[in-house]
Copies of this chain bind each other. A is one copy, B any other.
Amino acid sequence: MARQPRSRRERPSKPALSREGIVEAALHLFHQEGLAKVTMRRVAAVLDTGPASLYVYISDTEDLHAEILDALLAGVAVPSSSADWRGRLKGTLRSYMAVLFEHPELARMAMSTMPSGANYLALVETILALLNEGGVPDADAAWALDLLLLYATAQAAEKAAWKASSRSPSEFSSLTVAIEAADAEALPNITRLSGDLLSGGGDRLDWAFDVLINGVLAARRAETKA
C-alpha cells in the first residue's frame, strides 16, 4: 500500500527558492503582520528554511523592504482623462499618498529607500507625461517631479507617523503640548499662530499642490530671476 514510494519526504516538492518566491512570502507576511515582522528570519521561517538561505537572492533587509514598497505601488491609480492635466496630476499624487497612508510604516520607508521598481517607474512616467501635457519644459519637469514626489511622500510619512503614534492618543503629539505651552514673550509668532499651526485643515493638501504647481508654472517663464 505504499503510495509514491519514489520519495519519502513529507512535502515532496518544497519549492525551490527564488527571488520571486521570497518576495511573495515577504508580501504575505507584510499583509498579515506588518512591516516590522518582515524580517529575514521570519521570511525564512515561512519558507521553511534558515535566514542564511535568503542571502543568495536578497542582498539586504532593505532590499526586501524595497520590493514590498514597489509591489504596493501597483495600487496607484491614474485618474482617467475626465479632468484636465492639473486635476489628473493631483489625483495621481493623492492616490500615491493614499497607498502610503494605508500602510504607515511604508511611508517612512519610502523616504529613505529610494524606490526603483517597475511600478515606481510607471508612476514617474505618468507624472512626467502630465507635466509635459501642462506645458512644463523638460528641464523644469525633472525638478518638478522631484518636488512633487518628495512633498507627497513626506506628507504621507508625516500623517502616517501621526496616525501610528502610540505616544499620546489624546494629545496629538508632543508638539501640540510644546506649542500650547510656548512662552508668549520668547515665541510670539508661535503663540499668535498656535491655532493655525495645529488646525491640520482639510484643504491644506490641495492648497499645497496648487502652490507647487503654480510655482512650477511661474518658474517656467522667468528662468533666471535669481
* Interface residues of A, Cβ cutoff 8 Å to B: 60, 108, 111-117, 121-122, 124-125, 128-129, 132, 138-139, 141-147, 150-151, 153-155, 157-158, 161-162, 167, 173-175, 177-179, 182, 186-190, 192-193, 196-197, 199, 201, 204, 207-208, 210-212, 214-216, 218-219, 225
Contact = CB atoms under 8 A, between A and B. Distances in A.
Most buried by B among A113, A129, A147: A147
Contact of A111 (B111, B125, B173, B211): B111
A128 B190 contact: yes
A211 B210 contact: no
Contacts of A215: 210-212, 214-215, 218
Given A111-B112, A142-B196, A154-B154, 5 more contacts: A111-B158, A114-B162, A124-B197, A125-B188, A151-B154
Nearest to A186: B125
B116 A174 contact: yes
How many identical subunits does the complex contain? 2
B216 A211 contact: yes
Contacts of A173: 114, 116
A215 B132 CA distance: 20
A158 B114 contact: yes
B211 A141 contact: no
A155 B150 contact: yes
Contacts of A111: 108, 111-112, 154, 157-158, 161
A214 to B, nearest CB: 5
Contact of A132 (B125, B129, B189, B225): B189
